[in-house]
Amino acid sequence: MKMFVPLAAACLLASASAAHAADPNLGRNLAATCANCHGTNGNAVKGSGIDGLAGIPKDKTLQKLADFRSGDKPASIMHQIVKGYTDAQLDLIATYFAAQK
């Protein structure tokens, strides 16, 4: 049990300083709003014709989203959806998906 003490202490510190701050699962929650189309945790159904996002490097996803927003990358719907999220939210989403298998 001893080895868990530092971790538990770190958790306490983290949650104390995080009082009134963002939910620690914010990235997970935001990314889940994409899952209806892009699959749970970004694993789209194979053959569904919709891009999976799991494991895609963060910069690549962010660039794609920026291109949808600017119109550089033509889209049927993503140019409308990307405008509903803040840059900070898109960053959290791209970070979350990059870490998924």
Partner 1 sequence: MMLMKRRDFLKVGAAAGAMASLYGCAGGGKASGHVVVVGGGYGGATVAKYLRMWSEGGVQVTLIERNPTFISCPISNLVIGGQKTMEDITISYEGLRNKWGVRVIQDDVVAVDATKRTVSLKGGSALSYDRLVLSPGVDFMWDEIPALKGAEAQSKVLHAWKAGPQTVALRKQLESMKDGGVYAISIPKAPYRCPPGPYERACLVANYFKQSKPKSKVVILDANEDVMSKKGLFTKAWSDLYKGIVEYRNNSEVKDVEVGSNTAVLEFDKFKADVLNIIPPHRAGDIAHKSGIKLVNNRWVDINWLSMESTSTPGIHVLGDAIFPAPTMPKSGHMANQHGKLAAAAILNMLSGQEPNPEPVVMNTCYSFVDSKNVIHVSSVHQYDAATKTVQPVKGAGGVSAARNELEGKVALGWAQNIWADMLA
24-53 as b/e, with b when 16 or more CB fall inside 10 Å?
A: eeebeebbeebeeebbebbbbeeeeeeebb
How many positions of this chain bind partner 1 (CB under 8 A)? Answer: 36
Closest C-alpha among 42, 43, 48 to residue 95: 42
- CB under 8 Å to 57, separation ≥6 — which residues? 98
- Looking at 1, 17, 36, 101, which residue binds partner 1 (CB under 8 A)? 36
The gap between the terminal CA atoms of the chain, to the nearest Å, is: 30
Complex with partner 1: residue 38 or 64, whichever CB lies closer: 38
Per-residue contact string for residues 10-29; x = within reach of partner 1 by CB under 8 A? xx--xx------xxxxx-xx
Complex with partner 1: residue 70 or 80, whichever CB lies closer: 80
Residues contributing to the site for partner 1 (CB under 8 A): 7, 10-11, 14-15, 22-26, 28-30, 32-33, 35-40, 44-45, 47-50, 76-77, 80-85, 89
